[in-house]
Structure 1
Amino acid sequence: MVRSYILLLFCVCCWGSNFVFGSILIKEFPPILLSAIRLSATSLFLIGYGWSFKKLGYLTRRDILWLIPLGFIGTLLNQSAFFTGLETVDATTAALITSLAPITVAVLAAVFLKETITRRMVFGSVLAIVGIFFVVGKSGGIKLSIGIVYMFLAMFTFAVSIIIMRKLTERIDPLTATVYSTVIGSSMVIPVALVKEPITNVSSHPWAWVLLVVTAILMQGLCGLIWNVQLKRIGAGKAAVFLNLQPFVAMIVGFLLLGTPVTTVQAVGSLLIVGGVLLATGQKKAKPERIGKPMAAPGPISKLTGGS
């Protein structure tokens, strides 16, 4: 269990940094084309990994029916919304918005996986929503930009993909699910990118291409594979709790690499969001039984049987 937690922490630290690296790359590549190139590199890595270890399983028609919406929602919609949003939203704000993913996962799990919605979840959701108002609010009231809408879409599609992946890994192994869903998603993104965004509008800087390929393999390929394996082992709820750390990682990396200031409003908003998510997704500790407690003497028969 400890090993699983360490691996999930590694994934979330990489994904938190991805907001910053994505903000850098979006200045060098058009958003959908950037997504298509990264997904192509990720797909090649995953196919090579699965082929070299001969771990790719066979698919049934029902598996494919799960993989197609997973590729469309978790790859095409998610990646397109993510990089389009980063064109106008800074990395810290983007990470704070997507920190609502654990609550969204919990709600979707209650609807589609029949998991229970607790009172803690309701209170935590309200607290986190208040935090979002702090993050995206302006002095004249709440003003939502199109970039923020895109980031909400990226958060929601990511949450939906977790639910679909959880159902899919009940049928096939996580590696097979990760490889095929990424490849299917890539095949959907590439045609859209080629039609909408000319391939001539790409960066001429070698460092940008290196950063693109490295982040594709590490953050989308390797971390995606690790996450899906641990998702099957410890469950969607426990895994989603680790997503709470993304805003803090994005803040730290953004400050160190881009000099992005962390405002008081963002700090307060992040605390409310993360606090709400932790409250909503946390579980009460069971009270330990008292050892050595003397047994009560048997009462009258009427007491034991509920009589008067």
Structure 2
Amino acid sequence: MMRSYLLLLFCVTCWGSNFVFGSMLVHEFPPFLLSALRLTSTSLFLISYAWGTKRLKHLIRRDYLLLIPLGFIGILLNQAAFFSGLKTVSATTASLILSLTPITATLLASLFLKEIITRRMVIGSIVAIMGIFFVVGKSDGLEFSIGILYILLAMLTFAISIIMMRKLTERIDPFIATVYSTVIGSIMVIPVAIIKDPLNQVSPHLWAWVMLFVTAIVAQGLCGLIWNFQLKRVGVGKASIFLNLQPFVAMIVGFMLLGTPVTTIQLIGSLLIVGGVVLVTTQKRDKADAINQRMFKPRTIPKTHN
């Protein structure tokens, strides 16, 4: 079990650091071009792994009705908004805003999947939203910049993609869904990047190219595989606790590499956000899960569909 916890900690450390690396890369590459290059690298890694392990499967037309919107919302819009926001928003602030994703996904699940909302979830959401006001607040009042709005859009599209992925994985394996959605998103991003951010108009440094490909393969590809495998061993509840460490990793790495200051207000806001997320993700599930299981019994999936 300790090995699983260390692997989960490794993933969260990579993901938290990825905010800082992204902040560095957006000054070397335009947002759409950066998204296209990273997603292409990740897609090639995932396809190679799926092909090598013989896990690549053919899908039916019904699956693509969710995969195509998932690629557009969860990959194209999410990545474009994320990297556009990082041009003006610090890695620490971005990581804190994106830590609201579990709460947002929970609220969306209650609306579209009819899952139960408990009092604890409501209180946790309110506490986390209060934290956001501290994080994006200034000494002379609140200031929602265009960068903040981009990061909020990235958070919302990520939460929506979680709901879509949950519906999709009722029929197909989560890994296969991840591979196909990433490849479809890459195919969508590439033409946009070619038109909007031609490669011949930029001249990144060598370190930027190395950082781009390494972070794409390790943070988005390898860590995604490790995380999915460890979820089966430790469970979603325990694994989700590790995700709350991402903002603190981003704070530390941002301070060490970029000298990004961490204010007292941000610390208060981060504690509220993480506290709110913990309230929601570590709620007592027995009663709610029992009700959900009675209302939505999982369908038996034939072996041919995996």
Which residue of the partner structure matches residue 165 of structure 2? 165
> Does residue 243 of structure 1 match 2:243?
yes
Kindly tell me: are residues 285 and 153 of structure 1, through their superposed partners in 2, closer, same or farther at Cα, counting changes over 3 Å? closer
Would you say the 8 A contact 2:121–2:283 is kept in 1?
no
Would you say the 8 A contact 1:128–1:274 is kept in 2?
yes
Structure 1 or 2, whichever has the larger Rg, is 1
Which residue of the partner structure matches residue 38 of structure 1? 38
**Whole-Å separation in 2 of the counterparts to 1:152 and 1:245:** 19
Which residue of the partner structure matches residue 110 of structure 1? 110
Which residue of the partner structure matches residue 134 of structure 2? 134
Shift of residue 237, structure 1, vs aligned partner: 6.2
Kindly tell me: are residues 171 and 230 of structure 1, through their superposed partners in 2, closer, same or farther at Cα, counting changes over 3 Å? farther
Shift of residue 5, structure 1, vs aligned partner: 5.0
Kindly tell me: are residues 62 and 228 of structure 1, through their superposed partners in 2, closer, same or farther at Cα, counting changes over 3 Å? farther
Shift of residue 227, structure 1, vs aligned partner: 3.8
> Does residue 256 of structure 1 match 2:256?
yes
- 1:55-86 deviations in whole A, cap 9, x for unaligned? 11120111111211111111101100000000
Which residue of the partner structure matches residue 281 of structure 1? 281
Kindly tell me: are residues 57 and 5 of structure 1, through their superposed partners in 2, closer, same or farther at Cα, counting changes over 3 Å? farther
**Whole-Å separation in 1 of the counterparts to 2:231 and 2:21:** 25
Structure 1, gaps ≥5 residues long:
287-308
**Whole-Å separation in 1 of the counterparts to 2:232 and 2:63:** 16
Which residue of the partner structure matches residue 100 of structure 1? 100
Letter in 2 for 1:101: T
- Matched residues, number: 286
Which residue of the partner structure matches residue 219 of structure 1? 219
**Whole-Å separation in 2 of the counterparts to 1:81 and 1:160:** 14
Shift of residue 241, structure 1, vs aligned partner: 4.1
> Does residue 55 of structure 1 match 2:55?
yes
**Whole-Å separation in 1 of the counterparts to 2:285 and 2:153:** 34
Which residue of the partner structure matches residue 28 of structure 1? 28
Moved more, 141-150 or 227-236: 227-236
Structure 2, gaps ≥5 residues long:
287-306
Shift of residue 225, structure 1, vs aligned partner: 3.2
Alignment of 1:136-155 (within 5 A): 136-155=136-155
Kindly tell me: are residues 165 and 6 of structure 1, through their superposed partners in 2, closer, same or farther at Cα, counting changes over 3 Å? farther
Moved more, 23-32 or 111-120: 111-120
**Whole-Å separation in 1 of the counterparts to 2:247 and 2:155:** 13
**Whole-Å separation in 1 of the counterparts to 2:176 and 2:113:** 22
Letter in 2 for 1:174: P
**Whole-Å separation in 2 of the counterparts to 1:159 and 1:240:** 14
TM-score of the pair, normalised by structure 1: 0.86
Shift of residue 233, structure 1, vs aligned partner: 7.5
**Whole-Å separation in 1 of the counterparts to 2:271 and 2:248:** 10
**Whole-Å separation in 1 of the counterparts to 2:146 and 2:262:** 22
Would you say the 8 A contact 1:203–1:209 is kept in 2?
no
- 1:18-61 deviations in whole A, cap 9, x for unaligned? 10000111111011110001111111111111111111112011
Shift of residue 240, structure 1, vs aligned partner: 4.3
Alignment of 1:257-272 (within 5 A): 257-272=257-272
Shift of residue 192, structure 1, vs aligned partner: 0.8
Q: The residue matched to 1:200 in structure 2 has which SS?
A: helix
Q: The residue matched to 2:201 in structure 1 has which SS?
A: coil
- 1:189-240 deviations in whole A, cap 9, x for unaligned? 0111111112123334211101100001111112233445556777766654
**Whole-Å separation in 2 of the counterparts to 1:232 and 1:185:** 26
**Whole-Å separation in 2 of the counterparts to 1:156 and 1:233:** 29
Shift of residue 256, structure 1, vs aligned partner: 1.4
Letter in 1 for 2:110: A
> Over aligned residue pairs, what C-alpha RMSD do you find?
2.1
TM-score of the pair, normalised by structure 2: 0.87
